[in-house]
Amino acid sequence: MKKLLSFLDRALDIATISLTLLLVLLVTSQILFRFVLNVSAPWTSELSRYVFVYLTFLGSALAIRHKGHIVIEVMVDRLPKYIRYIVLMFVQLGILFFLYIVAVGSWYMVSVSSEVSTSTISWLKMSHVYFGVFSGTILMIFYSLLNFTIFMRGFFRWNDKGSGNGNDEDHSDGKNVVVESGEK
């Protein structure tokens, strides 16, 4: 499992770096065409928007993997540890539910737009654009499930420790299980 995760992380890193470089190249070429050569090239603008869609959703998957999304914990930090675990569990389930809805909707858009071309790039179908949303969402679901299992393992370890089974690992703080990567 660790090799699969390592491979997936590396592939996602390479994909986002490549997409960022492609986006910079497209925007630079758009500036070059428009202001230096005085030629309109509308495909550069459109393609850069689609590359940005892929970059956004794949980057969001990376942010979920590394727990880099913005989290506001003002109220959760004030709760007792057991209640904190329960609240954070429901937050994770809410995230998974939302991502499921996005995945279903984006797959529907992929399936119904397979014959629709983009406006300036006739060979590029809109289903290819929507596939970026779908694939990024599937990766977000995968990483969210991974984080959820790490979280639940920490919850049960903490709960077992509270019952006095002699478990020496310290997972007594609910938020550390969510914030840390689970390699404790």
C-beta neighbour count of 181 within 10 angstroms: 12
Asked if pLDDT for residue 29 goes beyond 60, the answer is yes
Q: Torsion over CA of 88, 90, 94 and 96, rounded to 10 degrees?
A: 80
Q: How far apart are CA 78 and CA 90, in angstroms?
A: 17
C-alpha pair distances (Å), 147 with each of 66, 83, 177: 10, 19, 9
Q: How confident is the model at residue 50 (pLDDT cuts 50, 70, 90)?
A: very high
pLDDT in tens, 62-118: 999 988 888 888 888 888 888 888 888 898 899 999 999 999 999 999 999 988 888
pLDDT in tens, 112-144: 998 888 877 888 889 999 999 999 999 999 999
